[in-house]
Amino acid sequence: MKILLGLGNPGKKYKNSRHNIGFKVTKKIAGRHDLRPEKRLDSLLAECEIGGERIIIAQPLNLMNRSGRSAKKIADFYGLKPEDFLVIHDDLDLESGRIKLKMGGSSGGHNGVRSVVRSLESRDFCRLRLGIGRPPAGVSAADYVLTTFSVEEKKEVIEPAVKRAVDAAEFWCEEGCEMAMNRFN
């Protein structure tokens, strides 16, 4: 069993923010498999099979900085280890629209990832990072991640990146992190 954990903030206020791109990916995966997530374990959860592997698709229902609480509840309930996780999240240090898989390492300043690391007591999980670019001059990173994409950026850059991220996540389910990094990075 593996888990695709999309990071974001719950609620309409944050729905289309840059910070919620992890939610967009997990929502697309659930849609691709005609799933309807249910509220359980402080998350929206759905289960399916991808490549013969049982997969849990999850979106924490706590704020980004507390995403680890949901990750820990899911891990404990299903008996999952950190290496069973693919954490999908936004990344300021990647140009907008670029995706990159990475195994382990630091949180890179991402508070949602930091929360998952703390709660799972491990950095040994794969991350699927989606670039949202750096904030313009005079805009703080905290404010920038809560902005929305322009119509043009969404259509020409973000939607293709989300589709590629969905493909990468499903490939990870079948082949693991190293093979997914080789194919999608």
Measuring CA to CA, which residue among 60, 61, 79, 63 is closest to residue 71?
Answer: 60
Which residues span the domain enclosing 155? 2-184
Helix (H) or strand (E) holding 120: helix 111-120
Q: Which residues are annotated as catalytic?
A: 19
Domain count, the chain: 1
Q: Are 88 and 128 in contact (CB under 8 A)?
A: yes
Each residue's pLDDT tens digit, 107-150: 888 999 999 999 999 999 999 999 999 999 999 999 999 999 99
Strand order of the sheet with strand 99-103?
38-40, 43-50, 53-60, 2-6, 85-91, 126-131, 99-103
Tokens of 126: 């794969």
In CATH, what number is assigned to the domain containing residue 135? 3.40.50.1470
Residue 42 in this model has a pLDDT that exceeds 90 = yes
pTM over 0.85: yes
